[in-house]
Structure 1
Amino acid sequence: MRRVAKLSAACAATAALALSATACGSTSSENNDKSSSSSSDGKGVKIGLAFDVGGRGDRSFNDSAARGADKAKSEFGGEIKELTAKTSDTEADREQRLSDLAQAGYNPIIGVGYAYSDSMKKVAAKFPKTSFGIVDSVVDVNNVDSITFTEEQGSYLAGVAAALKTKKDHVGFIGGVDVPLIKKFEAGYVQGVHDTNPKIKVETQYLSHGSDTSGFASPDKGKEAAQGMLDKGADVIYSAAGSSGNGAIEAVSGAKGTWAIGVDSDQYNIPGLAKYKDSILTSMVKNVDVGVYDFIKSVHDGKPLTGVNSYSLAKDGVSLATSGGFIDDIKAKLDAAKQKIVDGGIKVKTTP
């Protein structure tokens, strides 16, 4: 029987890890092939990272995964090989990327994003002695660790914060791509807003659709969408759109009296967004770094995690960042909402 793992003690260090995060590189969606090594004696772990579009340097989702891998490499030694998806990727491209890492002897291999689901199912079956991990999807193969999160729960709290901070009873949500995963963010956010104040209007917009993943790596689209919402009167905008959310944050920073809510990483503390930080109310932090680190550590320890490992609000798998102190005044209400979710008093929807 496949086991469902508990969160490791690494969760206790999540906050410090998120606050110390740094971002580097570009937000290009072109295919990157990077490798680095801290061990020349062959010891340590050979980590294969197959990033989603945007890759390392997106200041959001991929960077969070990269932090987990970087921490593992720092502790255990070895090397990291990074390959990054293009917006034009086909299923064959993703399958080839994972196969290339497996054939080169990387173990573990992590697919960062739901887009790797089908390709990992095929490749993991072909390489049964290699440990694979996938973020944001469930792949039912014996040698795969499915790393999932309750995004809707963290987004609910973001919705509560937005409802308590809006002055115009008008807020917005920007999704990168209209896929089930991002709809979980929307569903939780809208429910949190309306449970707090049903009179508040919520604008929603997706930047791309279906198999077009450009919505996760187009800051210009994010900026345009946010500006449109601001023009309509929204004064708090939450983006779940990868590096496209950086553009939304930029737009909000140019409008007095408005707030942006970041996602995945604590975006207040991302150096590349420093000039906008006074407009970042909070971020819905999704601790992908913890999930990735836990998986790599399990492989290093010789006891690879498999099955579905869910990182929930109760286990601090998702949370609201407090950097900047902008939500300190509503902390009691946010804590009360969190407790109701943890206790089961609030059931958060996963679809809008």
Structure 2
Amino acid sequence: MRRLTKIAAVTAVMALAVTGCAKKDTQTSSASGSSDKGGLCASGGSGPKIGLAYDIGGRGDKSFNDLAAAGTKKASEDLDATCKESEAAPDEPDSAKEERLRTLADAGYDPIIAVGFVYTPMVTTVAKEYPKLKFAIVDGAAEGDNVTNLAFSPEQGSFLVGVAAGLKTKTNKVGFVGGVKGPIIDPFAAGYQAGVKAVNPKATVEMKWLSDQADQKAFANPPGGKTAATALYDNGADIVFHASGLSGNGVFEAAAAEDKLAIGVDSDQYLTAPKDQQSHILTSALKRVDVAVYDFAKAFKDGTTKAGFDVYDLKRDGVGYATSGGQIDDIKDQIDSYKEKIVSGEIKVPNTL
């Protein structure tokens, strides 16, 4: 509980660059649990040797796992880094996550980056066993002199897409689909609700949650996301924002089927959505996991990593909103006005419900 409280204090999910090519031939190291979705990093590089442990959903979620991959790929290109990817299995025990990190450490990978708060206790444990290695965790609150917690202020970006929803809704009813209620996803919901209310006090925000724990039902369940979003649309919402990882694909399916609007999360999801869904994606709340992962890799190469929390907010361009598709071009000035007020401190965005 103490660790979750620490997460809530600083965090609760750019177009993807995964498809870019390095100058030299690329391949992904093969090992048990490693990704086989195509080369991510160059082989034989002289830079950092990055071990990347994915969260539920893995690479291909078009969300924060893919963003971590994008940051790692950029490190391959700019820092001559090599890497090995390792994916989480559905419903695996905590011991499997620990062993995944140990396997990367024993294979000589340094630094090691874990994606997702579920790795918090595992990173704390394994980092103590390998004090000479550097570890980072996205969205976590791990402890250790050799651990960097890459944290975000997702409530700030969520506030801005809430402003967009509040201005664009025609029914004064909007919705939110969250993976699991708690300190990681609550900031998205709280910021979104605050943004909607700031510009449209008459609007209501209905929320649905996909699971009561961070499992496959929460973040890798597109059918569940579609069912939840459809219920919100049927109840009068005309815009639904999701913070549910891969489950959000179902939200976009529902938006297209119901001829309504949806809001993406983490990456600019308009860019990776099927063409028949793009016109139904109003915007996305950006969470620049790619930037944080790349910055950590660069700091490792420069010998400047620091233990503790490294927080990415609006002021650092660590969160924000997407404009692809042009549907919010007419209200961008209003959204940016709120952005300036958040950066200046005039507006304090809530991160709890």
Fold conserved between structures, TM > 0.5: yes
Q: Secondary structure at the match of 1:106?
A: coil
Q: 2:43 aligns with which of 34, 39, 43?
A: 39
Summarize the Cα distance change of 1:22–1:248 in structure 2 as closer, same or farther, 3 Å threshold: farther
Per-residue deviation, 1:175 = 0.4
Partner of 2:149: 146
Deviations 1:227-251 (A, max 9, x none): 1111111100000000100110111
Q: What does residue range 31-180 of structure 1 map to in structure 2 within 5 Å?
A: 32-34=33-35, 38-40=42-44, 43-180=46-183
Cα distance in 2 for residues equivalent to 1:67 and 1:20 = 5
Contact 1:59 / 1:267 at 8 angstroms: preserved in 2? yes
Partner of 2:7: none
Partner of 2:268: 266
Partner of 1:292: 293
Cα distance in 2 for residues equivalent to 1:348 and 1:78 = 37
Per-residue deviation, 1:216 = 0.4
Q: What does residue range 176-195 of structure 1 map to in structure 2 within 5 Å?
A: 176-195=179-198
Per-residue deviation, 1:20 = 4.6
Gaps of 5+ in 1: 1-14, 24-30
Contact 2:271 / 2:324 at 8 angstroms: preserved in 1? yes
Cα distance in 2 for residues equivalent to 1:213 and 1:197 = 35
Identity of aligned residues (%): 48
Q: Which runs of 4+ in 1 moved over 4 A?
A: 19-23
Contact 1:43 / 1:77 at 8 angstroms: preserved in 2? yes
Partner of 2:229: 226
Contact 1:246 / 1:273 at 8 angstroms: preserved in 2? no
Summarize the Cα distance change of 1:138–1:337 in structure 2 as closer, same or farther, 3 Å threshold: same
Cα distance in 2 for residues equivalent to 1:230 and 1:341 = 30
TM-score, normalised via structure 1 length: 0.88
Contact 1:161 / 1:330 at 8 angstroms: preserved in 2? yes
Partner of 2:4: none
Per-residue deviation, 1:137 = 1.6
Summarize the Cα distance change of 1:34–1:212 in structure 2 as closer, same or farther, 3 Å threshold: closer
Deviations 1:238-293 (A, max 9, x none): 0000010011011101222x2110000001111x5333111111000100000000
Q: What does residue range 284-323 of structure 1 map to in structure 2 within 5 Å?
A: 284-323=285-324
Contact 2:217 / 2:224 at 8 angstroms: preserved in 1? no
Per-residue deviation, 1:139 = 1.8
Deviations 1:17-64 (A, max 9, x none): x265559xxxxxxx9423755233x62221111100111000111001
Greater mean deviation of Cα atoms: 144-153 or 297-306? 297-306
Q: Secondary structure at the match of 2:240?
A: strand
Cα distance in 1 for residues equivalent to 2:213 and 2:158 = 22
Partner of 2:341: 340
Q: Secondary structure at the match of 2:263?
A: strand
Q: Secondary structure at the match of 2:174?
A: strand
Partner of 1:239: 242
Partner of 1:203: 206
Contact 2:50 / 2:82 at 8 angstroms: preserved in 1? yes
Per-residue deviation, 1:79 = 2.2
Contact 1:174 / 1:240 at 8 angstroms: preserved in 2? yes
Cα distance in 2 for residues equivalent to 1:140 and 1:190 = 32
Q: Secondary structure at the match of 1:140?
A: coil
Per-residue deviation, 1:213 = 4.3
Contact 2:176 / 2:242 at 8 angstroms: preserved in 1? yes
Contact 2:57 / 2:246 at 8 angstroms: preserved in 1? yes
Cα distance in 2 for residues equivalent to 1:167 and 1:240 = 22
Deviations 1:107-160 (A, max 9, x none): 111010000000000000110111100001222311111100000111111111
Cα distance in 1 for residues equivalent to 2:217 and 2:323 = 30
Cα distance in 1 for residues equivalent to 2:145 and 2:108 = 19
Aligned residue identity for 2:43: S
Per-residue deviation, 1:336 = 1.2
